[in-house]
Amino acid sequence: MWQEAQGDWRGAHATVQDLETPAAAWVHAYLHRREGDQYNARYWYSRAERPPQRGPLDEEWTAIVTELLRP
């Protein structure tokens, strides 16, 4: 998420590409949504076991980071 916030979409995508966790799938879905690839985003939301998001991207970014940083 830090890489994406720095404008490094490719780096962020490479970071999560081969991870097999629901959290990584959620980040992956968000990245494809940010890219505008809704089809691919839907696939990754299903892998994350989350409904596809349609709200503002900045709100989803905050939700992901909040969840990932939760102890």
Chain segment 10-51, per-residue pLDDT in tens = 999 999 999 999 999 999 999 999 999 999 999 999 999 999
Task: Report whether 58 contacts 51 (CB < 8 A).
Answer: no
**pTM for this predicted structure:** 0.94
Contact 9, 31 (CB under 8 A): yes
Can you read off the two tokens belonging to residue 12?
A: 């962020």
How far apart CA 35 and CA 25 sit, in angstroms, is 15
Q: How many CB atoms lie within 10 A of CB 22?
A: 12
